[in-house]
Chains A and B, each alone.
Chain A
Amino acid sequence: MVNVPLYCDNTSAINLTKNPIQHFKYKNIEIRHNFIKDYVLKGDCEIKFVKIKNHMVDLFTKPLTHDRFNKLRTDLGILDMKNVI
């Protein structure tokens, strides 16, 4: 498993992991919180941007409308038995 993609919708957080030198104002962050940067540098994982409409994890963070709830549920592989068989 090399370059495991981690999808996130926050562009500033993505840029922070890619180029830490440009963001010197964040130097007060403790080292233990920066370990994700080490993994990105090593090439174990890669943080990518995903559009909000394709962001599957919305199901866990906010209440959604019926259409969106159903779409995300199907994308995650939670299906109705009647439709599968």
Chain B
Amino acid sequence: MENCKEFVTLIATNCYMVSDEARKQIDVIKYRWPIGSFLYLTASMLDIQLSVYMCARFQSNPRELHNKTEKRILMYLKGTINVGLWHPCNSKINLNGFLDFDFASCKLDWKIISGICHLLGSSFISWNNTKQICVYCNWGIVVLKLYG
């Protein structure tokens, strides 16, 4: 992997993470090992969070598609060694929250993936990315629950 090329994005926009049963199974331990390291990285590198969580869902039965996505994260990290969070000292102290949810984003079980982030002035302080716990019949409940 040392001489691999660098990628500028993490996942292709048309890439859907499915169970991919038809393709060859790969070694579980080899697949899990980088994910453990990625999870530590998500504490400071929030941009890889979505794709790491997507890969982490298939740890019990990884296939070639998942392995490819995982390798792409490594390629992305290679190109972004100098990239990090920047907190400017002269920004105003005003709290802003952003909230979004993607309907049926997870193609495996058609659940919603929601994201929340908070900015204090122009510095980024907290973020969260969650998959829906259980499916509701009423869309209104989903919206209100995600606000909480």
Number of interface residues of B (CB under 8 A): 50
Partner of A78, one of B8, B12, B86, B129: B86
**A53 smallest CB distance to B (angstroms):** 13
B-chain residues with CB within 8 Å of residue A47 when the two chains form the complex: 147
Contact of A78 with B46 at beta-carbon distance under 8 Å, contacts A7-B97, A55-B98, A55-B100 already known: yes
Contact digits for B28-71, partner A, Cβ 8 Å, 1 yes 0 no = 00000000000000000111011100000000000000000000
B-chain residues with CB within 8 Å of residue A28 when the two chains form the complex: 138
Contact A57 B116 (CB under 8 A): yes
Partner of B85, one of A5, A8, A59, A78: A78
The answer, yes or no, to whether B89 is at the interface (CB within 8 Å) is no
A9 to B102, CA, bound (A): 11
Chain B residue at minimum C-beta to C-beta distance from A58: B100
Chain A residue at minimum C-beta to C-beta distance from B14: A63
Contact A60 B9 (CB under 8 A): no
18 A-B contacts (beta carbon < 8 Å): A6-B98, A7-B96, A13-B143, A36-B147, A36-B148, A55-B98, A56-B117, A60-B50, A60-B115, A63-B10, A63-B51, A65-B13, A70-B8, A77-B123, A78-B83, A78-B84, A78-B86, A78-B124
